[in-house]
Amino acid sequence: MKSMEEMIQAAQQAAQTIQKQMEEAQGRLDQIEVEGVAGGGMVKIRATAKGRVVGVSIDDSLMQPSEKQMLEDLVAAAFNDARGKADAASAEEMEKVQSAAGIPPGFKMPF
């Protein structure tokens, strides 16, 4: 049977491994891109899974002063769509790390 000191050391090493894997996963999240769309594809926003917006595309037909309010609404809708997809991609990536570490699904990490 292992001594208490050996068990504490093993737990510390496991925690360090998990933390390193989580940091690596966080780094990968900035490389994963998602695209939010609105208005049947007339407005598109590209964002990373961390939520950083990397691009906005607006169909030329929306570039009219009379369409300003609709355009603003579509940009907000596209952003929210991208944010939802980014959250889903982030959760999926974190789930992979947790699964590899033997952590049960839904367990909230303290870091």
The number of domains in the chain is 1
Residue 73 lies in a domain: yes
Alpha-carbon span 25 to 2, nearest angstrom:
32
Report the side by side order of strands in the sheet with 53-58. 33-38, 43-48, 53-58
Mean pLDDT, rounded, for 35-41? 93
State the pTM of this model: 0.61
User: Which pLDDT belongs to residue 110?
Assistant: 57
Q: What are phi and psi of 77, to 5 degrees?
A: -65, -40
Tens-digit pLDDT profile for residues 62-105: 888 898 888 889 999 998 999 899 888 888 888 887 787 777 76
Domain carrying residue 58: 29-100
Residue 8 lies in a domain: no
Question: CATH no. for residue 62?
Answer: 3.30.1310.10
User: Which pLDDT belongs to residue 100?
Assistant: 76
Q: Average pLDDT of the chain?
A: 84
Cβ pair 57, 74 in contact under 8 A: no
